[in-house]
Structure 1
């Protein structure tokens, strides 16, 4: 019995160490960021002269649309206004039989599958199989996205540097509701911890399910067995093991529609949480690969792939604080301090990364956001049975974004 208790205690200590690491990690990254800024060691941004140099890669801009084409014209418009010329736009109109849309432009290819694909991965494959010419690089967009005019120029610069896969900078397209601002705040936090600071530390970036650019040949090496959700989970776990570095391009802006109400948030997060558990094994695979090579980049990447959603981490911290009331009051105080430190760090990161002040002010309503995610967790079984598509409806053009949040031309 004593041996069993000792084993359980050791496991309890390990669990506490893991949860504490995840929650204190953003604070450590903030400290590193501040030190690099003070010492002038931050990575320099791409400048105008740099993006004009090198070989112009051929890009395939793949737009995956499902059931609706209403938001495709603004995205196509933003791509046709690029300060770069070597690209073709492929629109995959999946399950859009009754949606009228035509394009008579040499850079736009509208594809209408004869059978419904009902999966983003299948739509991407359909576009690749219908390329009208060979393309060096493909870029994946959702239909509700918009691209900054310098988007492809910046990407071309990164590929000319030798990168084979590049994640671009996801920014909010809309912040007109409380939930949209809270959703945007989450993106800003993830951009800092999983992308910007990875770049600063010379490590591979996590990807989003959109705005990811990679060599076409690299994408063809990935084989999918599941098609409902988790596109980014699968693809990044495979890519990061095949290339030296999965790069992040903060200068390449892509705008994404944010969730504007609680019901839509629940549907989206139900799908995301389900994908986390479905693809959990890939985190272990990347971690094991990193330990076997050995590679700190892969070890760090794998550890963070295993990281649970933030609301689960916070729930675990409060649970540990409660359990420690019966074991060690000092540890209870420690866990309350960890939670407070994380919350302060989260607020500071959003304050640092935001472009609109109202995003930071929305953080005081975070408990409502967390509650919606708890409700999403309780509905997780639904995500394994259907696609749970998030409905988007914000028809905005790139000029609307740039006039509201002017960005200097690179």
Structure 2
């Protein structure tokens, strides 16, 4: 009986510590010396890979936002997988439209389809989704980080649509992860988590990590970040390199998207355990901190598990219930710190009262997670571009 008691106690500590990690990262980041300004070199040569699957309606907006960037040294490769490209016409010679002969249905296959058709040997590549819009200074901000010696950089994916409560809550969660999993994680000496787009790499590193790896279904960014960090490299965070991303605005869209994400977490959970064991053996701070993030359950699952433990503690160890009160306090503080730091829109604050509904739909997503990759491999886009907002700040 005593053994079970101590095991239960230890499990609760390990679960709750995820809520305390932001504070830990913040303290570590304060103790670390900040890098001094690095002189930025010339315009590096970028390949901009824009991927589309089934839908190309938003591709022109993505491409036009890139063309309006305050930068010139790039070629845009639009990979329209299983798409009708008859309506895609661009006068700018820097835009290359590629339509694979066979359906690829894979992010990495689309990326390498473009890589193998590069017009010239680009030094760097950046990955942009078809629903993204690129800030004018995106490339210049990436260069500032690359010129510090990093080979992999994650930028910011900010919301371009806050027209529904669900879009606002989606952005609220993204802002929280932006602070914890990217800014604080990187500043604490580890790496920023990748998020599927708005990220850039040296072409050599990307090819080295994924060229011989076949990835089925969602989650190529999970494999990619594991491969990069396993090679002893860090993924930097460029908080001023911004792309605007479409947030989920409908419940069916939310459930399908989250079911794929949850499926991906379970599918690649073993990578977190593998990296943690390796980091302990090698005494590798970057890998150790990053592995704790890989092992953390999705936020809604973490909240549900913690609430269940809190209820149980009220009956079997009431004093320990205070631990969960402390965890909730620091979690709420981290959420509002993130919203404040990234200057969240007022609509996002107002949407927080509907967080229980958001959690409910993620529970539905959890129930569908096992067959998530059979539902669809792409998120449908409902937001329509009505004005040219590619220069948002």
1:298, 1:9 → 2: CA distance? 31
Over the aligned positions, Cα root-mean-square deviation in angstroms equals: 2.3
Is 1:77 matched with 2:64? yes
- Partner residue of 1:363 out of 338, 341, 352: 352
CA distance in 1 between partners of 2:203 and 2:76 (Å): 15
Asked whether 1:256 is paired with 2:245, we answer yes
Question: Does the CA-based 8 Å contact 1:55-1:160 persist in structure 2?
Answer: no
**1:16, CA displacement in angstroms?**
0.9
| Whole-angstrom distance in 1 between the partners of 2:27 and 2:232 | 29
Distance 1:321 1:156 in 2: 47
Q: CA deviation at 1:166?
A: 0.5
Alignment pair present for 1:160 and 2:147: yes
The answer to whether the Cα contact below 8 Å between 1:120 and 1:227 also exists between their aligned partners in 2 is no
Alignment correspondent of 1:201: 188
The 3-state SS of whatever aligns with 2:79 is: strand
Higher mean C-alpha deviation, range 163-172 or range 200-209: 200-209
- Helix, strand or coil for the counterpart of 2:374? coil
Alignment correspondent of 1:86: 73
- TM superposition outliers: structure 1 runs of 4+ over 4 Å: 27-33, 39-44
Query: In the aligned structure 1, how far is the partner of 2:335 from the partner of 2:197?
Result: 24
| Partner in structure 1 of residue 7 of structure 2 | 11
**Could you tell me which residue of structure 2 aligns to residue 333 of structure 1?**
322
SS of 1:400's partner is coil
Deviation at 1:102, TM superposition (A): 2.1
Partner of 1:145: 132
| 1:111 shift after superposition | 0.2
Q: Using a 3 Å threshold, how does the CA distance of structure 1 residues 152 and 401 change in structure 2: closer, same or farther?
A: closer
- 1:26 is matched with which residue: 1, 22, 34? 22
Q: How many residues align?
A: 391
Structure 2, unmatched stretches of 5+, are none
Q: State the partner residue of 1:235.
A: 224
Within the candidate set 375, 379, 388, 1:390 is matched to 379
Partners of 2:151 and 2:28 lie apart in 1 by 27
> Aligned ranges for residues 372-391 of structure 1 at < 5 Å?
372-391=361-380
Shift of the 192–43 alpha-carbon distance from structure 1 to 2, 3 Å rule, reads farther
| Structure 1, 392-401 or 354-363: larger mean CA deviation | 392-401
Q: Report the alpha carbon displacement of residue 158 of structure 1 after superposing the two structures with TM.
A: 1.9
Q: Which of 116, 120, 124 matches 2:103?
A: 116
- 1:401 Cα deviation (Å)? 5.2
After TM superposition, the score normalised by the length of structure 1 is 0.89
**Pairing partner for 1:65 from 52, 55, 59:** 52
**In the alignment, is the contact (CA less than 8 A) between 2:25 and 2:185 conserved in 1?**
no
User: Aligned equivalents of 2:325 and 2:189: distance in 1?
Assistant: 32
1:349 pairs with one of 338, 349, 373 = 338
Question: Which stretch of the first structure deviates more once superposed, 372-381 or 23-32?
Answer: 23-32
Deviates more, 1:138-147 or 1:383-392: 383-392
**Is residue 2:289 matched to residue 1:306?**
no
Counterpart position of 2:123: 136
Further displaced range: 329-338 or 238-247:
329-338
Q: Deviations 1:134-157 (Å, cap 9, x if unpaired)?
A: 011110111000111111112123
Aligned mates of 1:164, 1:398 — CA distance in 2: 35
Query: For 1:54, what is the secondary structure of its paired residue?
Result: coil
Deviation string 1:60-110 (CA, Å, 9 cap, x unpaired) is 000010011110111111111121211100000001136521223221110
Q: Which deviates further from its counterpart, 357-366 or 58-67?
A: 357-366
Q: How big is the shift at 1:289?
A: 2.2
Answer with 267-276 or 19-28: which moved more. Answer: 19-28
Q: Secondary structure at the match of 2:120?
A: coil
Q: Deviations over 1:151-187 (max 9, x none)?
A: 1112123222211000011111111111111111111
1:400, distance to aligned residue in structure 2 (A): 2.0
